[in-house]
Structure 1
Amino acid sequence: MSIKIALAGNPNCGKTTLFNGLTGSNQFVGNWPGVTVEKKEGKLKGSKDVIIMDLPGIYSLSPYTLEEVVARNYLITERPDAILNIVDGTNLERNLYLSTQLMELGIPVLMAVNMMDIVKKNGDQINIDALSRELGCPVVEISALKGTGIMDAAAKAVELARAGGKAAPVHEFGSEVEHVLDEIEASLGGGIPEAQKRFYAIKLFERDDKIAAQMTMVPDVERLIKGAEEAMDDDAESIITNERYTYIASIINGCYVRKNRQKLSTSDKIDHIVTNRWLALPIFAVVMWIVYYVSVTTVGTWATDWANDGVFGEGWSLFGMEVPGIPVLVEGFLTAVGCADWLSSLILDGIVAGVGAVLGFVPQMLVLFIFLAFLEACGYMARVAFIMDRIFRKFGLSGKSFIPMLIGTGCGVPGIMASRTIENDRDRKMTIMTTTFIPCGAKLPIIALFAGALFGGASWVAPSAYFVGIAAIIFSGIILKKTKMFAGDPAPFVMELPAYHMPTVTNVLRSMWERGWSFIKKAGTVILLSTIFIWFTSSFGFVDGSFGMVEDLSDGILASIGRGIAWIFAPLGWGSWQAAVAAITGLVAKENVVGTFGILYGFAEVAEDGQEIWGTLAGSFTAVSAYSFLVFNLLCAPCFAAMGAIKREMNNAKWTWFAIGYQTVLAYGVSLCIYQLGSWFMTGSFVIGTVAAIILVVLFIYLLIRPYKESRSLNVGVKAKSAA
């Protein structure tokens, strides 16, 4: 029989690092039943019968956020064999608040005090034995980042579970509260296990809405609670909170000795600079510029050139030996076996050219993912959320909205799903609508292709794509918050900033590989099928009244479809059927934009100097139209998978179509302005499209600066209703 160990702790306490260290590659990722909060579980290294469940990071078991509801429901209904409670040793008081609640569940608890290396480095002392005595549960010290003591902690948790260890004794509140809790606990029916009655009694005392129906079991419960509130001159929930912190303070005074209480830590000193009101944004801009410059323009480009020109090109040299590229090997094999022309064309011009054009950009993506993983693991991205909260709040969003956008840099689907944790319905809908404006991993090949082929590897192209997404989010927030649909104050944002620390190479590489492997799998499934479809529709068509393979791609079915829709994009500067088709196929998967160009422009063919034939693509665009195309594909409706995620999260067809429509219209309008006004400034051409662009800019400025009439009327209405 398997043993279940639940990992529980505050956000940024090192829980995920510990989970990765305990399970290694034996992980299974999914969603909790009925919700889209990510669920991770894995088998303990060396123990096939021990399952580690990674609960969402939470601050309490109160049902304020979806993560808290998920964690509480799991602990109450599933009842794991033991709880491994991870506590941040550098912030013991805040972390012990959750610990006191976990101990009330009647499940054996082992506390692991994490970051003990930092605690000792700071000169602080935690008396582990005294802490264990005061809490009544076993306590161990670990460093999840360095892997110190983690396997011993897991072994003790398993031992505790197998021995059917007793739950930690719960602490007692003040006499007034204890009297009410005893009455409630004694009145709870047999449907609740004895071990959980204390937890239910406390939650009923706090008037927990999620289990308020239980109050009918307890006679005169409201009278008892009101009596305690009157005696202590406070509301029930605040009474419990104050009692918990009083208890925690009594423990810490005897177990925790701080050195240099008034001295600023290294993290505090760094934060004085990176979160400074005036310096924070310029520093963030410089950091992201460096990330994209290295990923797309320098190191990433060298690696991608090797992949495109070598692996998916003519070949490369290895220790003096000439190694042929995949197209050369495949073509030689097909010729040797006498493969039919149509099948040879499918494999070479369809699969190798299409999928190869996408996979050629994997090195750049991996470099980008390494940077992002490092910034997340070291603690800087948590500061970015804090920085963006100050900005977003002015425009109607909270810093919580930046978390899904941060997740969306890897893939828009989990980014959209992460918006589920935002309590405010208006903020959640707006976040869903704007999250995919941030360039995800699938859009990086488009950015890299155009930066290299159209802008000569200019260093400003890739970072500008990121900040175009940020600008679209901010401007959307300003505009949408002035409508009745989204009017209202943004949700509060509370986030604990972790201490800066140097991430381990293993964790950074693991994060990079998980994101990269997800992209590669998509290339082997969705993109493969898409490129086969694109090859077929571009290589077959009607010529002289008969259907068959065509020599000129402009005679194919795809070209006919492209010419039928190209007029829509002509005002944006890219009215060729190839560009129109690429933009449409990008709706299936954004990587398809590059794959489509790979097929239509013959990226599988290699010139004598080993360079891809990008000249034909570059000849189809000007600098202005190329940037217009790039921005359109960054801001328009996302891929089908992300659209599906939007539909699941919106849970409403009208809202889904509104979100997709808003994204597409905004993308079209911005791209129109970029091309028309850019052409006017650069060439002096003033046409009807220029007039339309000027009108759009004026309208856009008006929507940005107009007063918040709807918001004010809504707030007045709410106040008037409250006053009545």
Structure 2
Amino acid sequence: MSVKIALAGNPNSGKTTLFNALTGSNQFVGNWPGVTVEKKEGKLKGHKDVVIMDLPGIYSLSPYTLEEVVARNYLIGERPDAIINIVDGTNIERNLYLTTQIMELGIPVIMAVNMADLLEKNGDKIHLNKLSEKLGCEVVSISALKGTGIKEAAEKAVKLANARKVIEPAHEFSAKAEEIISAVENRLTGIVPAEQERFFAIKLLEKDDKIASQMKSAPDVSAEIKEMEDAFDDDTESIITNERYVYISSIIGDCVTKNRAKEMSTSDKIDRIVTNRWLALPIFAVIMWIVYYVSVTTVGSILTDWTNDTLFGEWIIPAAQSFFEGIGCADWLTGLIVDGIISGVGAVLGFVPQMLVLFFFLAILESCGYMARVAFIMDRIFRKFGLSGKSFIPMLIGTGCGVPGVMASRTIENDRDRKMTIMTTTFIPCGAKLPIIALIAGAIFNGASWVAPSAYFVGIAAIICSGIILKKTKMFAGDPAPFVMELPAYHMPTAGNVLRSMWERGWSFIKKAGTIITLSTIVVWFLLNFGWVNGHFGMLNFDGLEGAAMEAAQAECILAKIGNLIAWIFTPLGWGNWKMAVAAITGLVAKENVVGTFGQLFGFAEVAEDGTEIWGQLAGSMTVAAGYSFLVFNLLCAPCFAAMGAIKREMNNAKWFWFAIGYQCGLAYIVSLCIYQIGTLAMGGGFGIGTIVAFILILGFVYLLFRPYKESKTLNVNVRSVAGAK
């Protein structure tokens, strides 16, 4: 029989880092609340029969958000054999609130005081023996980041679980509170297991309706509630909360010795600059510009050029062509493998180096603690437009993939804010959109350094403008939810965590290229190479054709026929060519398909004699204004099928799902139309009906942005950084 050990603790306490260290699992490690949206499990190293469960970070067992419900339901319903309660040693007072609740569950507990290295650096000391005596459970010191003490903590948890011995919590409330709690406990005899009586009794006194609904026959404790409220002159929920904090305060003095002489921490000094009211946004903009400049334009571009030109263009494709022709393979099969699969998938994989460089930098920013500051910074902006900084957290996660980004919206307790976040999260460019950005930047804009960063900020602008407009409607009206988060202290990222994060994101992209994109390229190849010639259906012959002759031959294929049916829709956007239309549509399956489709249509995976990529055909198909319009449309329109599936699951309502998809596609179309029409006018392209429509749309957009609030009011909340607070 396997042993189950749960990791429970506050957000940013180091649970997932500890989980990775104990199991060797490649779980993503971040330092903002909500990364672990669902419980994850892995086998403890050296123990095949021990399962470690990584639960979402929670502040208490009185859940308000979906991920808190996941954690509490598991602890109550599944009842693991032991709990490792991870506590941030640098903020132990706050962490102990959850500890007092966990101790009441009747499950064996071992407390792991994390960040021992930071405690030593700060000159603070936690007296583990005294703390263990006060709490009634064993307390150990660990550093999950450096791996110190984690093996010993896990072994003790296994031993505790095998002993099946429940340790009674040593903490107690005031005499009157204990008297009433005991009275409720007695009424729960036979209704809940004996070891859970105290937990359920306290929850009933806290008026926790969810707990009452989970019990088969919850007793009426209104008399006990009234007695407690009369005795303390307060509501019972506040009384219990206050009793916990009184108990925590009573033990901190004996168990914690702080260095009173220490100066302002390094984290606080850095935050005075990077979270400054006036400097924060410019610093963020500069950092993101550098990240995208290095990833897409310089280092990443060099690596991608080598992958496209040399690896695929000079080695893989010619070798594959020679091999299949040498063994006498049928022309159609050779064409399918070389021109379809290798060229299509190769065009996508060619951008993997740029993606890995981008993910490397994002992992560093996340691991060092800066991205948590970005959520704090963006809260100031988002709050003015009806959202809180919590909405930016899913968007940060979505820079890797839109699916976990959409799922991370579960951390938002306000249903209206959560739905709006789901609708707008995919506006942030994910890893799958990076190849499109790199392709357009290289083919249309000659590798201009501003294109890639602008794509990121177009996404943010779309989110902000959507927040302003949607919050003024009845569907989304209401005050934004308060946003409270702890900013973790800055620290040097470890190579293991950075490389793990980079590889996890990159590998998910590569796996998609090996499955969905491969199937898509096969379909595109078939539709491109088969059509009607002289009234007969068959395979088309493109051998030796170039320029106009190639265009005429391709126009007879099935793909061209389908594309011409829908191309007119995109004519006002500047790219009404059937090739652009089908590329955008295939992007709905997977955004990488846009590049894969172009790879087959324009031969990106092939190289000319001078070794340069044949991007001139694409550049000749679109003007600069049309190119940027195409880029923005693919950034803002409905995401890939996988992300759409996540949106449907999280919305849990077909009407809301279609509204979200419709809004995304509609916004993408309007913005792209305005970009092309106004851009064409600015470059001397003339004034027409499309230009008039664009100006009307812009005026309407401005009106929606600046019309007064009718349904909601802006909630002004001061959010204070507590990084380094003691």
| TM-score w.r.t. length of structure 1 | 0.94
**Cα distance between partner residues in 2 of 1:523 and 1:340:** 25
Superposition pairs of residues 94-133 of structure 1, within 5 angstroms: 94-133=94-133
SS in structure 1 opposite 2:712?
Answer: helix
Q: Which of 506, 516, 526 is matched with 1:536 structurally?
A: 526
- The amino acid of 1:444's aligned partner reads L
- The amino acid of 2:251's aligned partner reads I
1:429 aligns with 2:419: yes
1:188 aligns with 2:188: yes
Q: Tell me which residue corresponds to 1:65.
A: 65
**Cα distance between partner residues in 2 of 1:670 and 1:313:** 36
The verdict on how the C-alpha distance between 1:504 and 1:26 changes in structure 2, with shifts beyond 3 A counting, is closer
Q: Tell me which residue corresponds to 1:668.
A: 669
Superposition pairs of residues 470-481 of structure 1, within 5 angstroms: 470-481=460-471
Q: Alpha-carbon deviation of 1:165?
A: 3.3
2:304 and 2:352 in contact (8 A); partners too: yes
SS in structure 1 opposite 2:493?
Answer: coil
- Structure 1 window deviating more from structure 2 (205-214 vs 368-377): it is 205-214
- Structure 1 window deviating more from structure 2 (234-243 vs 255-264): it is 255-264
- The amino acid of 1:253's aligned partner reads G
SS in structure 2 opposite 1:674?
Answer: helix
Q: Tell me which residue corresponds to 2:723.
A: none
Q: Tell me which residue corresponds to 1:231.
A: 231
1:461 aligns with 2:461: no
**Cα distance between partner residues in 2 of 1:475 and 1:611:** 40
Q: Which of 341, 354, 357 is matched with 1:367 structurally?
A: 357
1:14 and 1:86 in contact (8 A); partners too: yes
Q: Tell me which residue corresponds to 2:44.
A: 44
SS in structure 2 opposite 1:234?
Answer: coil
Deviation track 1:307-343 (CA, whole Å, cap 9, x = no partner) reads: 11122110xxxxxxxxxx2112211210111110100
Deviation track 1:79-123 (CA, whole Å, cap 9, x = no partner) reads: 111111111010010011111111111111111111110111011
SS in structure 1 opposite 2:111?
Answer: strand
**Cα distance between partner residues in 1 of 2:712 and 2:75:** 41
Higher relative contact order (CA 8 A, sep 6+): 2
Q: Which of 523, 530, 533 is matched with 2:513 structurally?
A: 523
Deviation track 1:589-644 (CA, whole Å, cap 9, x = no partner) reads: 10000000000001232111222211111111111111010000000111111111
**Cα distance between partner residues in 1 of 2:158 and 2:333:** 57
Deviation track 1:189-209 (CA, whole Å, cap 9, x = no partner) reads: 423111111100110110011
**Cα distance between partner residues in 2 of 1:189 and 1:577:** 73
Q: Tell me which residue corresponds to 2:658.
A: 657
- Structure 1 window deviating more from structure 2 (186-195 vs 342-351): it is 186-195
Q: Alpha-carbon deviation of 1:421?
A: 2.5
Deviation track 1:144-203 (CA, whole Å, cap 9, x = no partner) reads: 111111111111111111222332424111122111111100001423111111100110
Deviation track 1:477-508 (CA, whole Å, cap 9, x = no partner) reads: 00011111111101121211111111210011
Q: Tell me which residue corresponds to 1:600.
A: 601
- The amino acid of 2:515's aligned partner reads T
Superposition pairs of residues 76-155 of structure 1, within 5 angstroms: 76-155=76-155
Q: Tell me which residue corresponds to 2:474.
A: 484
**Cα distance between partner residues in 2 of 1:174 and 1:218:** 25
1:3 and 1:81 in contact (8 A); partners too: yes
1:204 and 1:214 in contact (8 A); partners too: no
SS in structure 2 opposite 1:423?
Answer: coil
Poorly superposed stretches of 4+, deviation over 3 Å = 25-29, 213-220
Q: Tell me which residue corresponds to 1:209.
A: 209
- Structure 1 window deviating more from structure 2 (421-430 vs 439-448): it is 421-430
Deviation track 1:416-464 (CA, whole Å, cap 9, x = no partner) reads: 1111221111111111110110001110000011111111111111100
Q: Tell me which residue corresponds to 1:397.
A: 387
Q: Tell me which residue corresponds to 1:23.
A: 23
Q: Tell me which residue corresponds to 1:166.
A: 166
**Cα distance between partner residues in 2 of 1:213 and 1:306:** 62
1:115 and 1:144 in contact (8 A); partners too: yes
| TM-score w.r.t. length of structure 2 | 0.94
SS in structure 1 opposite 2:41?
Answer: strand
**Cα distance between partner residues in 1 of 2:561 and 2:360:** 42
Q: Tell me which residue corresponds to 1:718.
A: none
The verdict on how the C-alpha distance between 1:222 and 1:273 changes in structure 2, with shifts beyond 3 A counting, is same
- The amino acid of 2:346's aligned partner reads G
1:411 aligns with 2:386: no
1:337 aligns with 2:338: no
1:63 and 1:210 in contact (8 A); partners too: no
1:26 and 1:43 in contact (8 A); partners too: no
Q: Alpha-carbon deviation of 1:510?
A: 0.8
The verdict on how the C-alpha distance between 1:473 and 1:127 changes in structure 2, with shifts beyond 3 A counting, is same
**Cα distance between partner residues in 1 of 2:96 and 2:581:** 58
Q: Tell me which residue corresponds to 2:619.
A: 618
SS in structure 1 opposite 2:84?
Answer: strand
1:558 and 1:581 in contact (8 A); partners too: yes
Aligned residues: 697
Q: Tell me which residue corresponds to 1:644.
A: 645
Q: Tell me which residue corresponds to 1:700.
A: 701
Gaps of 5+ in 2: 30-35, 542-552, 715-726
SS in structure 2 opposite 1:180?
Answer: helix
**Cα distance between partner residues in 2 of 1:260 and 1:290:** 39
SS in structure 2 opposite 1:709?
Answer: coil
1:635 and 1:664 in contact (8 A); partners too: yes
SS in structure 1 opposite 2:57?
Answer: coil
Q: Alpha-carbon deviation of 1:214?
A: 7.2
Q: Alpha-carbon deviation of 1:26?
A: 7.6
SS in structure 1 opposite 2:603?
Answer: coil
**Cα distance between partner residues in 2 of 1:244 and 1:386:** 29
**Cα distance between partner residues in 2 of 1:215 and 1:57:** 25
1:132 and 1:139 in contact (8 A); partners too: yes
Superposition pairs of residues 483-502 of structure 1, within 5 angstroms: 483-502=473-492
SS in structure 2 opposite 1:140?
Answer: strand
SS in structure 1 opposite 2:483?
Answer: coil
Q: Tell me which residue corresponds to 2:633.
A: 632
**Cα distance between partner residues in 1 of 2:621 and 2:38:** 43
Q: Alpha-carbon deviation of 1:218?
A: 6.5
Q: Alpha-carbon deviation of 1:554?
A: 2.1
1:392 and 1:398 in contact (8 A); partners too: yes
Deviation track 1:215-245 (CA, whole Å, cap 9, x = no partner) reads: 9956661121122112212211111111111
Once the two structures are aligned, what percentage of the paired residues are identical? 76
2:531 and 2:558 in contact (8 A); partners too: yes
Deviation track 1:571-601 (CA, whole Å, cap 9, x = no partner) reads: 1111111111101110111000000000000
- The amino acid of 1:692's aligned partner reads V
**Cα distance between partner residues in 1 of 2:244 and 2:540:** 77
Q: Alpha-carbon deviation of 1:684?
A: 4.5
Q: Alpha-carbon deviation of 1:691?
A: 0.6
**Cα distance between partner residues in 1 of 2:217 and 2:359:** 54
1:76 and 1:105 in contact (8 A); partners too: yes
**Cα distance between partner residues in 2 of 1:216 and 1:55:** 26
**Cα distance between partner residues in 2 of 1:501 and 1:406:** 19
SS in structure 2 opposite 1:47?
Answer: coil
**Cα distance between partner residues in 2 of 1:362 and 1:574:** 27
**Cα distance between partner residues in 2 of 1:565 and 1:282:** 42
**Cα distance between partner residues in 1 of 2:291 and 2:267:** 22
Gaps of 5+ in 1: 30-35, 315-324, 714-724
- Structure 1 window deviating more from structure 2 (546-555 vs 476-485): it is 546-555
1:100 and 1:170 in contact (8 A); partners too: no
2:22 and 2:44 in contact (8 A); partners too: yes
1:10 and 1:95 in contact (8 A); partners too: yes
- The amino acid of 1:384's aligned partner reads V
Q: Tell me which residue corresponds to 1:33.
A: none
1:571 and 1:689 in contact (8 A); partners too: yes
